[in-house]
Chain A
Amino acid sequence: MFVVDDDPAVLKALTRLLQSQAYGVQAFSSPQDFLERHDPATPGCLVLDVTLPVISGLELQQKLAASGAERAIVFITGQGDIPTSVRAMKAGAVDFITKPFGDEQLFAAIRAAIEKDRAMRQARAERCSIERRLATLTSREREVLERVVAGQLNKVIAADLGTVEKTIKVHRGRVMQKMGAVSLAELVRIADRAGIKPAAEHSASG
């Protein structure tokens, strides 16, 4: 759990409140401080004040997204104006709450944010492992994968690639093995996660 607010009193009080719920809290008095010291790998959400000198809360949100260190953010603000909140939410903020707020409002937002962060991290981890596995495929195996998830028959694939059906069967078996899929359905799901586009239908003519 990270908290960024330029007002020391608010920062201290928020830290205290979150600690009372047994959250581990790291407090930062400015976005620069946060950028320098925080560990992007540590899970947890960010409670961020909108109105900050030099680098505003929204700017920090953009910087994090740009650097791939995106994490779930709960914005807090003393002047909740609608355009700012819309911009924050569009950029993926979990919540945008106006000071002063009750603990329940904050905790609910934080719970949602933590959940989102966890999900984000899980998705990211899964994508990483798939990508790692994908990287082990040869280019021919990749070509076969793309055609398999597109639903082409071995025969068609062989014709397409200018080889025999038997060879395709061998490639296909290796792909299934490397990607850790036990069924065609699972392979399709993994490929989808990895963002692999099914090859265009060439049909017999191809």
Chain B
Amino acid sequence: MSCGPESRRGRGETRAASTNWGGIILQDARTHPGSALSLSLSARDARAALLVAVAYYLGAKIGFAFTFQPHPISTLWPPNSLLLAALLLTPARSWWLLLLAAFPAHLAAELQSGVPVAMVLGWFASNSSEALIGAACIRVLVAGPLRFDSFRDVSVFLIFGTFLAPLLSSFLDAALVILIGWGQGSYWQLVGLRFFSNVLAALILVPVILTWAATGFAGIRYAPLRRYVESGLLFLGLLTASILIFDWQAVDHSPRPALLYAPLPFLLWAAVRLGPVGTSASLLLMAVIVLWGTTHGQGPFLASSTEENARSVQLFLIVVSVPLLLLAAAVQERRKVKEALQVSEEHSAKAFRSSPDPMAIIRRSDSSIIDVNDRWESLFGYSRAQAVGRTTAELKVYADPKDRQTYHDLAAAQGYVRDFEVDLRDQPGRVHQAVVAAEIVEVGGVSCFIETIRDVSEQKRAEREAREQQKQITHLTRVAMLGELSGALAHELNQPLTAILSNAQAAQHYLEKGRIDPKELGEILGDIVAQDRRAGEVIHRLRALFKKGERQFQMLDANELVREVLELAHSDLITRNIEVVTQPSPQLPAILGDRVELQQVLLNLIVNACEAMSADDPKEHGLTIRTESTADDGVQLSVIDRGHGIPADTQEKLFEPFFTTKPQGLGLGLSISRSIIAAHRGRLWGTNNPDRGATFHIVLPVHAGGPS
């Protein structure tokens, strides 16, 4: 604003501050998707330009209105601030349009006052530069629209929009006035007059325009009733106090400075309770009343000269506005943080309550329960009221109290707990297998666990059942296979028994005849003992195979394994007229495995190989069993036959359960074998040999890794 010295012809321009006054929001530019630099005007741009022109013109008229009588100096010059607000509400690429729109309004307002053309143009330049400097600085330094809701943004606005921009443009303005010779007074006097006038306008108008543009009307529409009542009371109070102080006091001509603070409580109320929107509106209201009173020769700011009066009013309003705007911003900022926190807390609480997993908050110091959710209640059978305040030890939540300590130690060591497997006991005493995860949080200054429990009893039970079934099937197929081999196995037992019986009876005969050499007798007895042991071993081995035991991993020598299995299959192989060649690798690392299960797999492969070879065709009488180390730290066992090989169409199905090529086969042998080998972290596969027959390979990892 301006005010040139003679303000009246001020440079009036009117500009748009536009925006929301008419309810039309020019709005903030950045969301505006318009084409860059487009010269084609959209309806929205045209409307904004028109609004700016009208507002600029009216702003200039208002500037003239707030001129002290009789001295013609405007205390408040709105057009520059209106232009600044309009720029801040539009994208930078549209600024040229707004400035263009302001120009005719400027001409209209100024020329009516008889200002020389040069001065009119000069003033437009200084006014535009003020708005541009302020808008550009703020646009650069403030991210997003300026809403007066953060301390930093308000500070930027105060420094660049209300201080730097008016100051710089006032230097230009005063220089032009001196140059053209239109004004009176010294250069510095002109600078001072114009500066304060524009500072006040920026402080009073820009915040109110921008905040109302951003939130004002929407805020009002959705405000609760009590907010209307509060706002009404506040504005009524402010209005009353301001009018009493600033418009009536002139009567007794004895200004009481203390009374200047009368509106302050209402302004503070607005800053604290109503945010930037209410604060800026309150400031505007008070400024209008003060200016009106002073302009009409009333109120406390009536000193000796008009200039001094104007300066007093300006300083008073500036000094009041700056801290209030900052206060409102700070309060708003804090409110937003608090709201965000509240929202987050609400979300947390809701997530806690509605979690599909049982959750509890537990104090670390004594394990007392602070809160539990619905699922926790239904898992443990305690109501929230029963649980809260008691300790996990009192409720005997941990089936094994040692787990509680482990849990605390884990949490202390790493600050959280993950996948902690533990048995938990509910109120009726049932034990649930659970997986617990916990975080350490502060609740009301107390260190707590917020823990999530997943009841995996069902899952574990299903896993156990599957394992048990697998075990049953493995055992059944083993027994079935041994059944097929029963004749051969009986033979293995009959051999030592025959030897024992014959030896014993030979000794009897010698004794009967009374001619026994003690040395001979000793040999006979020695043979009996040895053969008895041999029979015992066969029985022992068979019992291990027939038994349904838990899987037991131990260090095994693959060659030894092959030897044991071949002993079992010995007479079966002879009966089938199959010659076995073993090719053991002399230095094999130990493998870790279950002896019985691996024997089962090998036996299965050997029996299959035998069945693939017809007893009548002498070309098919060879079975080779080879052991070797593999490059990737494994031990490979290969069972190589010279039979009919694997038909191409069955290669894939071979390991599927219930797939069989034998009339009496169950089709489980290879499927079980593969699952056994998989449990040993190994691989089992079959290939056809280049010449004839098939080879089945087992690769087992060397001991270091350990079993699954």
Does A206 belong to the interface (CB within 8 Å)?
A: no
Give bound CA distance, A48 to B342, whole Å. 98
- Asked whether, in the complex, the Cβ of B494 is within 8 Å of the Cβ of A51, the reply is no
- Asked whether, in the complex, the Cβ of A51 is within 8 Å of the Cβ of B502, the reply is no
Complex contacts, A19 vs chain B, CB 8 Å: 506
- Asked whether, in the complex, the Cβ of A10 is within 8 Å of the Cβ of B509, the reply is no
Complex contacts, B574 vs chain A, CB 8 Å: 6, 51-53
Of the candidates B487, B492, B499, B579, the one whose C-beta lies within 8 Å of that of A9 is B499
**Which A residue's beta carbon lies closest to that of B502?**
A13
CB distance from B509 to the nearest CB of A (A): 4
Complex contacts, A14 vs chain B, CB 8 Å: 498, 502
Complex contacts, A54 vs chain B, CB 8 Å: 577, 579
Given contacts A17-B503, A51-B574, A52-B574, contact A9 B494 (CB under 8 A): no
Of the candidates B509, B575, B579, the one whose C-beta lies within 8 Å of that of A20 is B509
- Asked whether, in the complex, the Cβ of B530 is within 8 Å of the Cβ of A9, the reply is yes
- Asked whether, in the complex, the Cβ of B575 is within 8 Å of the Cβ of A12, the reply is no
**Which B residue's beta carbon lies closest to that of A56?**
B577
- Asked whether, in the complex, the Cβ of A17 is within 8 Å of the Cβ of B491, the reply is no
Does B233 belong to the interface (CB within 8 Å)?
A: no
Give bound CA distance, A13 to B531, whole Å. 10
Give bound CA distance, A56 to B571, whole Å. 12
- Asked whether, in the complex, the Cβ of A17 is within 8 Å of the Cβ of B509, the reply is yes
Q: How many positions in chain B have a CB within 8 Å of any CB in the partner chain?
A: 31
CB-defined interface of A1-21 with B at 8 Å, one 1/0 digit per residue? 000001101101110110111
Give bound CA distance, A10 to B500, whole Å. 8
**Which A residue's beta carbon lies closest to that of B493?**
A78
Does B651 belong to the interface (CB within 8 Å)?
A: no
Give bound CA distance, A12 to B500, whole Å. 11
CB distance from A48 to the nearest CB of B (A): 14
CB-defined interface of A74-94 with B at 8 Å, one 1/0 digit per residue? 001011010000000000000
Does A186 belong to the interface (CB within 8 Å)?
A: no
Does B658 belong to the interface (CB within 8 Å)?
A: no
- Asked whether, in the complex, the Cβ of A9 is within 8 Å of the Cβ of B506, the reply is no
Complex contacts, B571 vs chain A, CB 8 Å: 51, 78-79
Does A103 belong to the interface (CB within 8 Å)?
A: yes
- Asked whether, in the complex, the Cβ of B530 is within 8 Å of the Cβ of A100, the reply is no
CB distance from A152 to the nearest CB of B (A): 53
Does B354 belong to the interface (CB within 8 Å)?
A: no
Does A68 belong to the interface (CB within 8 Å)?
A: no
Give bound CA distance, A198 to B284, whole Å. 158
| CB-contacts of B534-578 with A (<8 A) | 534, 571, 574-575, 577
CB distance from A144 to the nearest CB of B (A): 53
**Which B residue's beta carbon lies closest to that of A84?**
B575
Does B453 belong to the interface (CB within 8 Å)?
A: no
Of the candidates B506, B534, B575, the one whose C-beta lies within 8 Å of that of A13 is B506
Does A99 belong to the interface (CB within 8 Å)?
A: yes
Given contacts A13-B498, A53-B574, A99-B498, contact A78 B503 (CB under 8 A): no
Give bound CA distance, A20 to B505, whole Å. 9
Given contacts A9-B531, A79-B490, contact A20 B510 (CB under 8 A): yes
**Which A residue's beta carbon lies closest to that of B578?**
A53
Complex contacts, B575 vs chain A, CB 8 Å: 51, 79
Complex contacts, B502 vs chain A, CB 8 Å: 10, 13-14, 16-17, 103
- Asked whether, in the complex, the Cβ of B499 is within 8 Å of the Cβ of A7, the reply is yes
- Asked whether, in the complex, the Cβ of A12 is within 8 Å of the Cβ of B498, the reply is no
| CB-contacts of A1-45 with B (<8 A) | 6-7, 9-10, 12-14, 16-17, 19-21
Does A102 belong to the interface (CB within 8 Å)?
A: yes
Complex contacts, B6 vs chain A, CB 8 Å: none
CB-defined interface of B488-527 with A at 8 Å, one 1/0 digit per residue? 1011101111111111011101100100000000001001
A to B contact number (C-beta, < 8 Å): 91
| CB-contacts of B166-217 with A (<8 A) | none
CB-defined interface of B574-615 with A at 8 Å, one 1/0 digit per residue? 110101000000000000000000000000000000000000
Of the candidates B494, B510, B530, B579, the one whose C-beta lies within 8 Å of that of A53 is B579
Give bound CA distance, A12 to B506, whole Å. 11
Give bound CA distance, A17 to B502, whole Å. 6
Complex contacts, B509 vs chain A, CB 8 Å: 17, 20-21, 103
Most chain-B Cβ atoms within 10 A of its Cβ — which of A6, A17, A103?
A: A17
- Asked whether, in the complex, the Cβ of B497 is within 8 Å of the Cβ of A99, the reply is yes
Complex contacts, B490 vs chain A, CB 8 Å: 78-79
Give bound CA distance, A3 to B295, whole Å. 146
Given contacts A13-B527, A53-B574, contact A100 B491 (CB under 8 A): no
Complex contacts, B501 vs chain A, CB 8 Å: 13, 100-103
Complex contacts, B530 vs chain A, CB 8 Å: 9
**Which B residue's beta carbon lies closest to that of A76?**
B498
Of the candidates A9, A53, A81, A98, the one whose C-beta lies within 8 Å of that of B495 is A9
Complex contacts, B510 vs chain A, CB 8 Å: 20
Give bound CA distance, A7 to B503, whole Å. 14
- Asked whether, in the complex, the Cβ of B491 is within 8 Å of the Cβ of A78, the reply is yes
Complex contacts, A17 vs chain B, CB 8 Å: 502-503, 505-506, 509
- Asked whether, in the complex, the Cβ of A101 is within 8 Å of the Cβ of B498, the reply is yes
CB distance from B525 to the nearest CB of A (A): 12
CB distance from A5 to the nearest CB of B (A): 9
**Which A residue's beta carbon lies closest to that of B571?**
A51
Of the candidates A12, A21, A98, A103, the one whose C-beta lies within 8 Å of that of B499 is A12
Most chain-A Cβ atoms within 10 A of its Cβ — which of B491, B495, B507, B530?
A: B495
Most chain-A Cβ atoms within 10 A of its Cβ — which of B492, B496, B500, B509?
A: B509
Complex contacts, A9 vs chain B, CB 8 Å: 495-496, 499, 527, 530-531, 534
- Asked whether, in the complex, the Cβ of A79 is within 8 Å of the Cβ of B487, the reply is yes
CB-defined interface of A153-185 with B at 8 Å, one 1/0 digit per residue? 000000000000000000000000000000000
CB distance from A4 to the nearest CB of B (A): 14
- Measured CB to CB, the residues of A under 8 A from B are 6-7, 9-10, 12-14, 16-17, 19-21, 51-54, 56, 76, 78-79, 81, 98-103
- Measured CB to CB, the residues of B under 8 A from A are 487-488, 490-492, 494-503, 505-507, 509-510, 513, 524, 527, 530-531, 534, 571, 574-575, 577, 579
Could you list 13 further interchain pairs (A-B, Cβ under 8 angstroms) beyond the known A13-B498, A99-B498? A9-B527, A13-B500, A16-B524, A17-B502, A19-B506, A20-B510, A53-B577, A78-B491, A78-B571, A79-B488, A79-B494, A102-B505, A103-B501
Sample 14 A-B pairs with CB under 8 A, ordered by A number.
A9-B530, A10-B498, A10-B502, A13-B503, A53-B579, A54-B577, A79-B487, A79-B488, A79-B491, A79-B494, A79-B571, A100-B500, A101-B498, A102-B505
* Leading 5 A-B pairs by shortest Cβ distance: A78-B491, A20-B509, A13-B502, A78-B494, A100-B497
